[in-house]
Structure 1
Amino acid sequence: LDFGHRGTNHPVRHFKNNRIYITTQNHGYCIDETSLDQAKVEISMRSLNDN
């Protein structure tokens, strides 16, 4: 994550219904997906600004 996500109108895609939601965000970190235990965590949404 080169820059934090701060402000309104950040689009995210929900994987189960393929809908796009407009969100408000305020964070400056990114989670490395390879560090997650796939048996316990399911990624349900992803930012469309940075994939």
Structure 2
Amino acid sequence: MELAARQNGREITVRLDGGELRVVTRQYTGEVFSAGDRVRVSSAESVTRVTH
């Protein structure tokens, strides 16, 4: 049996340059995102990251 660990997370909605919306849930690290910020979205092996 696998146990899921509870961690604080944030859901971030990102509008890509092409207009598509993506919702990313990420572990809370203290990094603050504000509406209008330009961010980098990277994906590998079903893991998506959002950074400044």
Q: Which structure exhibits the higher relative contact order, with contacts defined as CA atoms closer than 8 Å and separated by 6 or more residues?
A: 1
Quick check: which one's helix share is greater? 1
**Shorter-normalised TM-score: what interval?**
0.3 to 0.5
Q: Quick check: which one's strand share is greater? A: 2
If the length of structure 1 is used for normalisation, what is the TM-score?
A: 0.33
TM-score by length of 2: 0.33
Larger Cα-atom Rg:
2
